[in-house]
Amino acid sequence: MKTLGLLINPIAGMGGSVGLKGTDGMYQEAVRRGAVRKANARTALALKALLPIRDDLLVLCPSGEMGEDLAREMGFQVKVVYSCGPDTTAEDTIAAARAMADADLLLFAGGDGTARDVFTAVGDQKVALGVPAGVKIHSPVYAIRPEAAGELALSYLKGACGQTREAEVVDIDEAAYREGRVNTSLYGYLQVPYERRFLQSSKAPSPLSERSQQVNIAWEMIDQMKPDLYYLVGPGSTTKTLMDVLELPDTLIGVDLICNKKLVQSDLCEQDILKRMDERETHLIITPTGGQGFLLGRGNQQLSAAVMRRIGRERLHVLATQEKLFHLHGAPLLVDTGDPEVDRMLTGYVRVIIGYMEEQICPIGAERQ
Amino acid sequence: MKKIDRSSKVRTGFHQAKWDEPVIFELTKPGERGILVTKANPEVQKAVEGTSVLPSFLQRETAPALPEISQPRVLRHYARLAQETLGADVNIEIGQGTCTVKYSPKVNDQLASLPQMREMHPLQDESTCQGIMQIMYDTNRYMCEISGMDRFSFQPSGGSQGILTMASLVYSYFKSKGQEKERNEIITTIYSHPSDAAAPHVKGFKIIYIHPDENGYPDYEAFKAAVNEHTAAFIVANPEDTGVYNKNVLKFTKLVHENGGLCGYDQANANGLLGVTRAREAGFDMCFFNLHKTFSTPHGCGGPACGATGCTKELEKFLPGPLVDFDGEKYFYNYEITNNPSAIGKVREFNGVAPVILKAYAWIRSLGPDGLYQVAKTAVLNNNYLFKKLMELHCVDAPYIPGKQRIEQCRYTLETLFKETGVSTADVQRRMMDFGMHYWQSHHPYYVPEPMTLEPTETPSKEDIDEYIETLKYVFDEAYNNPEKVKGAPYQSVCHQLDESNMDDPKQWAVTWRSYLKKFN
Amino acid sequence: MSVKGFKNHPYIPNSVPEVEQEMLHELGLNSLEELHAEVPDEIILKREMDLPEAFGSEYELRRHVEGVLKKNKTCADNLNFLGAGCWQHYVPALCDEINGKGEFVTAYGGESYNDFGRFQSLFEYESLMAELVDMEVVNVPTMDWAQAAATAIRMGCRVADRAQALVSGSIDRQKLAVIKNYCTPDLDIVEVAFDPATGCMDLADLKAKLSDKTGVVYFENPTYLGVMEVQGKEIADLTHAAGAQCVVGVDPISLGVVAAPRSYGADIVCGDLQPLGIHMNYGGGQSGFMATMDDPKYVLEFPSRLFGICCTNTPGEYAFADVAYDRTSFGHLREKAKEYVGTQTALWGITAGVYLATMGPKGMQEVGETIMQNAQYAAKQIAGLKNVSIKFSTPFFKEFVVDFSKTGKSVAEINKALLEKNIFGGKDLSKDFPVLGQCAMYCVTEVHTKEDIDRLVSALGEIL
């Protein structure tokens, strides 16, 4: 018997249908505008894929609209692990996710806000997968479609796909977004199932998995490092892999400082960085964060204009998997240090390390309008 | 009886041969023999010690555990496996994009099976090999005329080895100048075949990738940023697998030359260019052709093949040697040209896959200059016809240069189909197999979402192309009306959907029957 | 309207003018010249290519090619004793029958759903070969033995995480050239001397060169010069003691009677499939194999395709697909681990599988016995000639080095005289191995009868 944690943010997606850019903090307005709840219907599309293993599956879920109703309606065996009232909140999501410690897989439906709540609750200790139901879906913890989430969940629960990968939880500031500004932040990483499925094409050499691409990238960066210089290592899973390869502790969403492959200081703030830069020639190793190719200004605000003015383009090392660059489709990597002059200085073409002895030429641009 | 209704445009009744054949080891019957082996003359046996001269540790104690099967049963097994293989002889080859799967004339196979080809030892005295040496010499001349290069080597035995040979030429060229350490970067594009990067890696080069611009050409601004004093070479295909021809190719090759680098042309996609445009005029210093693709020598399930690699006079001395020459009376191996310390040496034992060279020769001679031109034109005509018909479909699109011509193939996207039906390009691929059609997606990673790469070559008739289109349409309609049917495919193929979940697990993968028995008994 | 091109060509259905026009009109074009609009005018070839005009018929083509090929003198019509990397063995009829099947000849890169037979027959090839070499993993074949050896050396160096390979000095010079090109600049290829008396590796030199930098020791059994490497076990032991990988090249047709290299310590085995049912084809029949045990440490280092067995969603169905999709070189990336895979020699792999299935265990034993007996007989008879000797005292398999230094004649002269008697004499070693003097390497297999050998010996007797 396998157990599935099922968690639905029942109000996810409501804002989008009535012209609101997200539902966080806007539920009442959405209802006022006549929004209807769709998250359960979206989740049903995913759960349909699990019907064949219904008899061997126990669904752990919160009461009512957050999971119980739908699971029962579809004939799953249900165990309610958390009770919630009619108007559910982020706190309910967090508490419910924590109550599902026994689940083999946590399937949650919502948007970026929901993913953040799930991350707050379980961190990287639980394998989780998102059913896209919200307005904002920038976090790759979500499957492309609800049906795809269902198929992947099925395959994971059947044991056919045992691998997982780290996927980013990113969110944008909805208040700013509604005013037309995009401000993305990286909140952390969830472990999501990873399946090799119909990917193969016989005459091509196998593509490397994301993880091994990151290891390749790390080796190339290490080969390029010079002795006795300071290297600031920015946040992100690709830079984290660099630290892993060097067997150094990493601050996943912070900036660390290394020298001669040894850790000098962890989790530096802007002032720490500026102080350290007085000591030695300092280079910066960063990777685009979030879903929009931001190099600077999203989730790494410590790397301020003052810092970047001194790093310059010469001492900037950008790492990214080729897949991540592909998703940009030629659009520039973005910098938004808050100082237009510094942003301009960083603009141009940069060699991005994409593998061992492999680089790609990418444009850097100021923030997109 | 009424007249039989044959109006369907799609072969809905197709079923591939499915024999449910055992693995050959399961056919063993102790005592059966597939063939009798010649014994040594009794006098010979008496005169010598035979295997007993081997020191005991070198004597095989137990016979290899090969199956024991009588001859008709071996034949039947393999004949059935052949039937379970969809070779180009039996299907409309449009679906294996980038592979240039065209008709391989049977007469050429027969010629290559003559004893004057098969029963030739590569170290025979040159006077006894004048026939095959003439073929090699003339094929070299033809390749030179088709490409504008000055000399070809036939040692590279596949496209990837052709690229390795080009990378090796680059290495040799800079080694001869004492610059092999500084000139350590090769620029290529993300659409290029993965071997364009992997093979140069073997020669120690760093690979710099260029992204396509909005036309699908390599982004020239990025390219300018890439070219510098470390640039050893630019290796690229044109057209790339998108079928988009980079109009500005001369600008690219010129910039590389100005910076002291070399330009290598991956001509895996040459089929649409024969007699139309050449490597030399486009500014390349070297190129390679896949004889098993463009020149029709069959693919043989993946070789034997030839990646004939040519270069300019300046680079000739670095080619893998020896090269065949003609002194006016006889053909001979010229060891002098490539006898220098910077030369590649060899990339293959002996002098190339002779039967493949022979078949390419015969193919060229059966077409002549007019025919080769016709091949290119018809291949491009067929592709643009297919392109136009497919682009009329709602769920098919292709990135770049809208309204313009493609060369010999195109990479389409089925993103709309996927978004609207949940049916992916992989699902369509499996479903096409139910109608006896190959279908290819793309190399990884997918830059074009939900890719479909089709290359009709000059071989199919208009009716064949129409049938392929009708079959695709049938599958697309099905995707909208009954997506589960498409996702569950294939149904009419040799086997059903593979479960490959054991293939990445060392405890469960099995590359051989003995591993399988060990792990699953 | 232009009529350039070749209308109604039998290989080009749509060269029929009416069809061509219909399709051009569909595209809104009038002539073939309007195609290739994307190719800039400055690089358009403005003239017809300078190539011979096409033959008027298939028959004329056949007559011409047959005429050219008739200038060749074959090993079927002459008596051949050349080996040295390409060997004349009997090719069972089944091998040509199967590898001539149009489905196999014209298949390429399809998925296992429609190219199923190709996947199964190559999986079977891997499995049959694994029994012969007594290993658990065999690749879909590569170009030739030289490529297999070069790749095996790279694999071994990655496993050992070192960048030097020691190779036996008796190796084929052209194979060494391939290895050097493929491994430079990443690896350092160093030769180990061979003992001119025995033809085997000079162990003192091996010991002197082995160090903590050595990643691979590569030797062959039988060696290129034909003799058995009777110190195989000592070499393997020394290699392993130095922390290096032992790579052994082998002649697969010997393995019915000769012990598989794993029994004396090989970590990776490689060689050429050509003896297994593939015609010499003027060197076009070469096909390289590699084999290891089923240990991820090795499996993940194969750059080649490995077809494995799997199931489908339908009970009772076999299927075949690629093993270790994410095959890469975790942890060994500093050795620039990337190699490539592409079109290689799959059809020869299928052929070798047919050969092994046809021969069976008995056939492989018998052919090994016959070869050794015939070769020993030939060596013995030749050694009876005045001033001629067999160079090495070590047991050999099918090739042996004949020393003509004392005859006062060069090998070139002798071979020229033999050629006049329709005999292809052994490979002249005087250029590749000048240290050996005027030596030739003779290859004798199951195709040679006692009469053939006696004819050679009497011809030599007349010439010398």
Indicate whether A201 belongs to any domain.
no
| Whether residue C338 sits in one domain with residue C322 | yes
Q: Does A247 lie in the same domain as A177? A: no
According to DSSP H, which parts of B179-280 are helical? 194-202, 220-226, 249-258
Q: How confident is the model at residue A19 (pLDDT cuts 50, 70, 90)?
A: low
* Residues C264 and C282 grouped into a single domain: yes
Instruction: State whether B490 and C113 contact (CB < 8 Å).
Output: yes
pLDDT in tens, A199-246: 333 333 344 567 778 888 999 999 999 999 999 999 888 898 999 999
Domain ranges (residues) in chain B: 111-363, 372-487
Q: Which one of C317, C341, C356 terminates a domain?
A: C356
The answer on C52 and C83 residing in a single domain is no
Question: Which structure tokens are listed for B4?
Answer: 């039989």
| Model pLDDT, residue B510 | 96
Tell me which residues of chain A, numbers 6 to 45, contact chain B at a CB-CB cutoff of 8 Å. none
Q: Which of A133, A162, A194 is the last residue of a domain?
A: A194
- Residues spanned by the domain of A330: 210-366
Residues C407 and C427 in one domain: yes
- Shared domain for A252 and A163, answered yes or no, is no
Q: How many CB atoms lie within 10 A of CB A75?
A: 11
What does the pLDDT read at residue C64?
98
Mean pLDDT over residues A307-336, rounded?
A: 87
**DSSP per residue over A183-211, as a string?**
-EEEEEEEEEEE---S---TTSPPPPPHH
Place of tokens 């600008």: B251
Reduce the DSSP state of residue A316 to 3 states and report it.
strand
Residue C290, chain B, CB below 8 Å: the answer is no
- The string of DSSP letters for A163-185 reads EEEEEEEEEE-HHHHHTT---EE
- DSSP character at residue C391: S
For residues A218 and A187, state if they share a domain: no
Rounded to 5 degrees, φ, ψ at B387 are: -60, -50
pLDDT category of residue A134 using cuts at 50, 70 and 90: confident
Are the Cβ atoms of C322 and A206 closer than 8 angstroms? yes
Residue contact B441–A201, C-beta within 8 A: yes
A357 touches chain C (CB under 8 A): yes
- Give me the CATH number covering residue A142: 3.40.50.10330
Domain harbouring C319, CATH code: 3.40.640.10
Whether residues A207 and B213 touch (CB distance < 8 A) is answered with no
Together in a domain, A70 and A181: yes
Q: Confidence class of residue A367 from pLDDT cuts 50, 70 and 90?
A: low
A163 and A286 inside one domain: no
Nearest to C326 among A209, A219, A223 (CB): A209
C275-332 tens-digit pLDDT: 999 999 999 999 999 999 999 899 988 888 899 999 999 999 999 998 876 654 333 3
Cα distance between residue B190 and residue B444, in whole Å: 10
Cα dihedral C151, C153, C154, C160, rounded to 10, equals 150
Q: CB atoms < 10 A from the CB of A180, how many? A: 8
Answer whether residue C41 is part of any domain.
yes
Residue A204 maps to a domain: no
**Any idea which residue has 């682009």 for tokens?**
B391
Q: C325 and C236, same structural domain?
A: yes
Query: Which of B99, B447, B455 is the best substitution to test chain A (most A C-beta atoms within 10 A)?
Result: B447
| Residue B45 backbone dihedrals phi, psi, to 5 degrees | -55, -40
Question: Are both C382 and C342 inside the same structural domain?
Answer: no
Query: Given 3-state DSSP classes, what are the helix, strand and coil percentages for chain A, each rounded to the nearest 5?
Result: 35, 25, 40
Pairs of CB atoms within 8 A across A/B: 88
Q: How far is B261 from chain C (nearest CA, A)?
A: 19
What is residue C2's predicted lDDT score, i.e. its pLDDT? 47
Which residues of chain A neighbour B444 with C-beta distances below 8 Å? 199, 201, 204, 206-207
Gap between the Cα atoms of C447 and C443, Å rounded: 11
Residues of chain C with pLDDT under 50: 1-2, 328-336
| Co-location of C318 and C407 in the same domain | no
Which pTM was predicted? 0.89
C387 plus C432 within the same structural domain: yes
Instruction: Yes or no: say if B496 and B449 are a contact pair by the CB < 8 Å rule.
Output: no
What's the pLDDT at A145?
74
Instruction: Please tell me which of the candidates A160, A322, A363 has its beta carbon nearest to residue B222.
Output: A363
Decide if pLDDT at A16 tops 70: no
A129 with A247, same domain: the answer is no
pLDDT of residue A128: 93
C21 belongs to a structural domain: yes
DSSP string, C331-363: T-GGG-------S--HHHHHHHHHHHHHHHHHH
Alpha-carbon distance C23 to C352, whole Å? 46
pLDDT score recorded for residue A206 = 40
Q: Is residue C3 part of a domain?
A: no
Spatial separation of the C-alpha atoms in residues A43 and A107, rounded to whole Å: 9
Note whether C177 and C319 are same-domain residues.
Answer: yes
**Structural domain range at position C33:** 13-69
Name residues of chain B where pLDDT drops below 50: none
Give the pLDDT of residue C379.
Answer: 98
Is B161 in Cβ contact with C130 (below 8 Å)? no
For residues C105 and C254, membership in a common domain is answered with yes
- Give the span between the Cα atoms of C284 and B358, in whole angstroms: 11
Q: Is C190 on the interface with A (CB under 8 A)?
A: no
Check residue C337 and give its pLDDT. 52
What confidence category does residue A32 fall into, taking pLDDT thresholds of 50, 70 and 90?
confident
3-state secondary structure B349-410: CCCCCHHHHHHHHHHHHHHHHHHHHHHHHHHHHHHHHHHHHHHCCCCCECCCCCCCCCCCCE
- Please report which confidence band the pLDDT of residue A181 belongs to, taking 50, 70 and 90 as the band edges: low
Tell me if C7 is assigned to some domain: no
Based on the domain organization, do C311 and C375 belong to the same domain? no
Rounded Cα–Cα distance for residues C403 and B272 (Å): 56
Question: Span B372-487: which CATH code?
Answer: 3.90.1150.10
Q: In angstroms, how far is the first alpha carbon of chain C from the final one?
A: 73
Which of C297, C328, C356 marks a domain boundary?
C356
* B74, two tokens: 């071996």
CATH architecture of B111-363: 3-Layer(aba) Sandwich (3.40)
Asked if B40 lies within 8 A of C373 by C-beta distance, the reply is: yes
Q: Give the angle subtended at the CA of C62 by the CAs of B119 and B305, to the nearest 5°.
A: 55
Q: Which pLDDT belongs to residue C263?
A: 97
Domain endpoint, select from C311, C338, C356: C356
Assess whether C300 and C369 both reside in one domain.
no
What pLDDT band is residue A179 in, cutting at 50, 70 and 90? low
Q: How many independent structural domains does chain A possess?
A: 2
Cross-chain residue pair C111–A202, CB shorter than 8 Å: yes
SS3 content of chain C, % helix, strand, coil (to 5): 40, 15, 45
Per-residue tokens: B112: 């290559």
Neighbour-count burial of C316, counting CB atoms closer than 10 A to its CB (0-12 exposed, 13-18 middle, 19+ buried)? exposed
> How far are the Cα atoms of B112, C35, C284 from residue C305, in angstroms, in the given order?
28, 39, 21
Asked if the Cβ–Cβ distance from C54 to B367 is below 8 Å, we say yes
- For residue C60, being part of any structural domain is answered with yes
- Please report which helix (H) or strand (E) contains residue A212, including its range: helix A210-224
Please check whether residue A185 lies inside any domain of the structure: yes
Total of domains in chain C: 3
B412 contacts B454 by C-beta, under 8 angstroms:
yes
- Distance from the Cα of B451 to chain C's closest Cα (Å) equals 16
Give the confidence band of A26 by pLDDT, cuts at 50, 70, 90.
Answer: confident
- Which residue did the predictor score with more confidence, C290 or A314? C290
Do A287 and A180 lie in one domain? The reply is: no
pLDDT on residue C409: 97
Q: What span, in angstroms and rounded, lies between the C-alpha atoms of A294 and A282?
A: 21
Burial of C269 (0-12, 13-18, 19+ CB in 10 A): buried
User: How much is the CA Rg of chain A, to the nearest whole Å?
Assistant: 22
- Cα distances from B332 to residues B126, C251, C429, in angstroms, run 6, 30, 20
